[in-house]
Amino acid sequence: MNNMKRDFLLILTLFATLSCTKVTPEKRIETIYNYFDNENTTALSTLETVSNNYPARMSGSQNNSDAIDYFTLILGNDIKVDNIWYQDVTVPHWLPGENSVSCKLSDGTTHGITAVPVGLSVGTDGNDLTANIVEVTSREAFDKANVKGKIVLFNEPMTAENGYGKARWQRTQGAALAGAKGAVAVLVRSMTTLTNDDPHTGSTRYDSTGVQIPAMAISTQAADKLSEELKKDGRLKVTINSTAKRLEDTIGRNLVAEIVGKKTPEHIILLSAHLDSWFNSQGAQDNAASCVTAVEVLRAFKKLKIKPNNTIRILLYQDEECFLSGMKEYAKIAKEKNEEYLFDLEMDSGAGGPKSFRLAEKDIFFPKIKEITDQYLTPYGIEEITQVEERKGWPLSDSMKIPYYGYVSNTDHYFDIHHSSSDNFDKIDPAAFKKGIATVTAFVYLMD
């Protein structure tokens, strides 16, 4: 579907939603928020079950597969959606293994360093790897540093101002870059603004240089301490022992489910959320909360007897954390089938309650969507609709020009727990979580 046609469709459907229904949009939206406020208990219990029973849902793992089965049961037996199906996806199969990192000072004293392996990292085959440390706190410093035969400590802090996007290269690129310059391993300061002893993992990529050396994420506290020790004792040594390893790729499943539209069933509104998580937590906010949100939107449409004009489809996909392979596979199939989409609403920002929607393209319909969401959703906490540059590298946008919209939660505390052992159900604020689902439901209702 070309953009003009899609815009025309959106105008038509919005006009239908806002003008021709017996229930006013205000009333309908109030009903949606009330439903999530009062009646709905399934959102929280579903999230609790996924978090507690199927933690560490890494791509290719049994827990990941079991979580898919659990969501299938809910969608089929409880919600009774119209269609459910799977898509097989080739996913990386990586095992974190057993890991230890320790520091030995020149005077012979030793202490442990709290660390977790970085996702996709090679290990040391269970052997001790010992070397001196070179600390770098910026890309420029790294480019100038002599790292040959050393372990590089990437210690550029993530700050509130610069954020995750600025610091992340150290984890995603550090090992490949350092390996190419002759380093033997890397330690990466955790991507968080908190100072504590809880390390944050995440993926690394070797493909920029092809050189594979071990990468461990260390806690911010451990990074500060090691940095202090290095200033006094430049000859200290660090020992890494890790059995992390990547096995042959395996097959995972995308889960797709939908309620078919009554007027224009061939037009799809897609809600997408990745199902995979890291090995060191329940992955409650990243990203079980978004998966449950997608499922509960369908449940709300059924429970509140809202018959959508367009098909409302949800996609719980594999392997966002490393290669986005689940989304790539979905996009490939969508293109083959020549499917028509109004937009894809991607959800991956935790459960901190509604903040904004992000429209990642120069959408001529942006002012209208902004007007409508300002009118109907601002009273419920949506602060702004932001229009950002087209999202590059998003498979559905790249291959089919499907507009990418993002649902954005309040992320004030998201990076305190993101990819760490604290991303568990006990950190979920039930009211904020449910208000977020109500907001996504209301947005979909308004756009339908």
- Least distance between Zn ion and beta carbon 290 (Å): 8
Cβ-based nearer residue to Zn ion, 277 or 439: 277
| Whole-number Å distance between alpha carbons of 33 and 443 | 12
**Which residue in 172, 281, 287, 422 binds Zn ion (CB under 5 A)?**
287
Of the pair 135, 286, the CB lying nearest Zn ion is at: 286
Bridge partners (DSSP) of residue 131 are: 238
Q: Which of residues 291-350 bind Zn ion (CB under 5 A)?
A: 348
Tokens representing 191? 């991507």
The distance of closest approach from Cβ of residue 286 to Zn ion in the complex, given in angstroms and rounded to an integer, is 4
Q: How many residues bind Zn ion (CB under 5 A)?
A: 3
Which among 123, 202, 211, 216 is positioned nearest to 168, based on CA atoms?
202
Answer yes or no: are the C-beta atoms of 323 and 103 closer than 8 Å. no
Q: What string marks each residue from 344 to 373 as x (binds Zn ion by CB under 5 A) or -?
A: ----x-------------------------
Give the C-alpha separation, 448 to 446, whole Å: 6
How many angstroms separate the CA atoms of 81 and 12, rounded? 25
End-to-end, the C-alpha distance of the chain in Å comes to 17
Closer Cβ to Zn ion, 17 or 281, answer by number: 281
Quote the least distance from Cβ 379 to Zn ion, whole Å: 29
Interacting span for Zn ion (CB under 5 A) from 101-109, 118-126, 130-138, 287-295: 287-295
Range 241-255 burial, b when 16+ CB lie within 10 A, else e: bbebbbeebeebbbb
**What does the block give as tokens for 425?**
């159900």
Q: How far is the CB of 139 from Zn ion (least distance, A)?
A: 25
Cβ of residue 76: shortest distance to Zn ion, in angstroms?
25
- Residue 68 tokens read as 């898919």
- What distance in Å separates the CA atoms of residue 448 and residue 441, rounded to the nearest whole number? 10
CA distances from 385 to 54, 279, 281, 335, 396 (A): 34, 34, 32, 28, 21
**Residue nearer to Zn ion on the CB measure, 40 or 410:** 410
Q: Is 249 in the site for Zn ion (CB under 5 A)?
A: no
Stretch that binds Zn ion, among 94-102, 170-178, 282-290, 424-432 (CB under 5 A): 282-290
Residue placing its CB nearer to Zn ion in the complex, 229 or 348: 348
Minimum distance between the CB of residue 288 and Zn ion, rounded to whole angstroms? 10
Complex with Zn ion: residue 370 or 413, whichever CB lies closer:
413
- Minimum distance from residue 353 beta carbon to Zn ion (Å): 17
Least Å distance, CB 371 to Zn ion, is 30
Stretch that binds Zn ion, among 12-20, 149-157, 278-286, 377-385 (CB under 5 A): 278-286
104 exposure class (CB count in 10 Å sphere: 0-12, 13-18, 19+)? middle
Cβ 328 to Zn ion, closest distance in Å?
16
Query: In this structure, which amino acid lies at residue 84?
Result: I
Taking the least distance from each CB to Zn ion, the nearer of 35 and 279 is 279
The verdict on 168 binding Zn ion (CB under 5 A) reads no
Nearer of residues 249 and 348 to Zn ion, judged by Cβ: 348
416 binds Zn ion (CB under 5 A): no
Q: Which stretch binds Zn ion (CB under 5 A): 52-60, 92-100, 216-224, 280-288?
A: 280-288
For the CB of residue 361, give the shortest distance to Zn ion in the complex, in Å: 21
- Cβ-based nearer residue to Zn ion, 282 or 311: 282
CB of 349 vs Zn ion, minimal distance in Å = 8
Q: Which of residues 377-396 bind Zn ion (CB under 5 A)?
A: none
Q: Which is nearer to Zn ion, 173 or 290 (CB)?
A: 290
Name the residue nearer to Zn ion (CB basis): 28 or 57. Answer: 57
Q: Is 420:362 a contact under the CB 8 Å cutoff?
A: no
Contacts of residue 355, defined as CB under 8 A and 6 or more positions apart, other chains included, come to 381, 382, 383, 408, 409, 410, 411
Per CB under 5 A, does 286 bind Zn ion? yes
Residue pair 402/269 in contact (Cβ under 8 Å)? The answer is no
Interface positions with Zn ion (CB under 5 A): 286-287, 348
